[in-house]
Structure 1
Amino acid sequence: RLSGVLRYSGPELNISVHDRSVFLGQPLILQGHVLGNPRPAVVWQHPRGHTLVDDGVNIYTHYG
């Protein structure tokens, strides 16, 4: 018999993005914190809809 309460919460996003200029080949780091239960999926997208993943983009997600 299981006892306890499952608590669900909508995702909370805390990210501060400012306009930045970088030269081709320079690294750019975007950081933010996402909370939610169940754990939200994190996907970075361009405003035109395509996902920002290709050979020159590395995305790391740290949960904890």
Structure 2
Amino acid sequence: MNNKPLIIANWKMNPSSQKEVKRLWDSIKEGIKKNKEAEIIVCPPFIWLSFFSGVLEKLGAQDC
């Protein structure tokens, strides 16, 4: 059983290009790497789910 707190990040920004998504993700990823105390799930906008499907082990989605 995992006793770590769970953080679910609902990503409200909607970048206009994959280049911008990658830049934002690189920044977010650095913060996730530094975290050792919680389990983190990122929920990007629907249109970017395919980008993250091979990148994140735990992925959530939002519909708006």
Q: How does the TM-score come out when normalised to structure 1?
A: 0.30
Q: Which one has a larger percent helix, Structure 1 or Structure 2?
A: 2
Q: Identify the structure with bigger relative contact order (alpha carbons < 8 Å, sequence gap 6+).
A: 2
Q: How does the TM-score come out when normalised to structure 2?
A: 0.30
